[in-house]
Amino acid sequence: MSEKRKKPVLLSGIQPTGELMIGNYIGALRNWVALQDQYDSLFVLVDLHALTVRQNPPDLLRRCREFLCLYLACGVDPDRNTIFVQSHVPGHSQLLWILNCLTPMGELKRMTQFKEKSCSHRTNINMGLFDYPVLMAADILLYGTGLVPVGDDQKQHLELARNLAERFNARFGDIFTVPEPYIPVTGARIMSLQDPTSKMSKSDNNHLNYIALLDSPDLIRQKLRRAVTDAGNRIRYDAARPGISNLLNLFSVITDTPVDLVEQAYDGKGYGEFKNDLTEVLAGFLGPIQGRYAEFMAEPPYIEKILREGAAAARARSEMMLEKIHDAMGLIPFIRGKNPG
């Protein structure tokens, strides 16, 4: 067994919807990169999850490629990790079915994200949207995952994955690892620029609400200039002033400086100066990512090679796990070997 396989397994995914933005970087991608050495890591472009909302095929295809290149540009290393596309590994959908048969509908009806998305997509409340958290559990449990780095909003989905693992193990034997969430202490919830009481979202219709990883310095400046701040002009973190607190949080995470030191540096200065400096900070941070992104986008054969190798590795691992699952449940084992004659 290789050294790599002995490390605990980490798995995470982002669905190709909207535009990858700074909240995704801070809540998820940055932690993928920070943890990739200590874990046997799998990073998945969860394209089947994206089908739960209506997609235009050419746009989806383009976005899938862009997302993969952004993962790489942010520092996810294909030589140290398995990077693959969910739809390339049939085991995810197969395990989904099995887990579906162990999931009471009531548990899915309670899911906050389902309730929210049922409101925002009233004309398309489909089975996939309802089943979304079970597919996420399948992604995780299929590889014996121990750690799942995600933002705060995914806590409830992860709890379902844990419950399903425990329920399956209690009935059929010790097959699944019960996964732990890894939720960053700071930056687990970056808020919207125009409405700092709600989460920054990459599929927000109002682009002014988020800083996309591919935004130009000019666009960042415009968005920050229009970002809602609160009455008064002091640069202070205060739960009652969510606008300025969110911007302080962003500044602190990207410059890796504790919030109180940022507050000290801006003592007596105004919002205008702070926003200008935050523009510089974000543009300076995103510039190199955008440069690497452009290089990866110009190398389709390299991306294809990563995906081919990633899918082959993930398929092999998932097939081994599915055999164990089928065996434990009393399904006839798949017979390997050549057909006679």
Stretch that binds ligand AMP, among 19-27, 36-44, 164-172, 244-252 (CB under 6 A): 19-27
Count CA atoms closer than 13 A to 136's CA, side-chain side. 31
Q: Is 50 in the site for ligand AMP (CB under 6 A)?
A: no
Cβ atoms 45, 85 nearer than 8 A: yes
Residues 6 or more apart whose Cβ sits within 8 Å of residue 214? 19, 20, 66, 70, 286, 290, 293
φ, ψ dihedrals at 10, nearest 5°: -120, 135
**Is residue 233 within 8 Å of residue 215, measured between CB atoms?**
no
Strands (E), 157-311: 180-182
Q: How far is the CB of 82 from ligand AMP (least distance, A)?
A: 18
Select which of 202, 223, 275, 324 is catalytic: 202
Residue 128's Cβ-count burial label (10 Å; 0-12, 13-18, 19+) is middle
| Catalytic residue status for 275 | no
Asked if residue 244 binds ligand TRP (CB under 6 A), the reply is no
State in angstroms the smallest separation of the CB of 138 from ligand TRP: 8
Query: Could you confirm whether 199 is annotated as catalytic?
Result: yes
Q: Binding of ligand AMP at residue 200 (CB under 6 A)? A: yes
Could you say which of ligand AMP, ligand TRP, none residue 199 binds, taking C-beta under 5 to 8 angstroms by partner kind? ligand AMP
46 sits near ligand TRP (criterion: CB under 6 A): yes
* Catalytic residue status for 115: no
Q: Which does 220 bind (CB under 5 to 8 A by kind): ligand AMP, ligand TRP, none?
A: none
181 φ/ψ angles, rounded to the nearest 5 degrees: -75, 150
User: Can residue 19 be called a binding residue for ligand TRP (CB under 6 A)?
Assistant: no
Q: Indicate which residues carry an active-site annotation.
A: 117, 199, 202
Binding site for ligand AMP (CB under 6 A): 14-15, 23-24, 26-28, 150-151, 153-154, 188-190, 199-200, 202
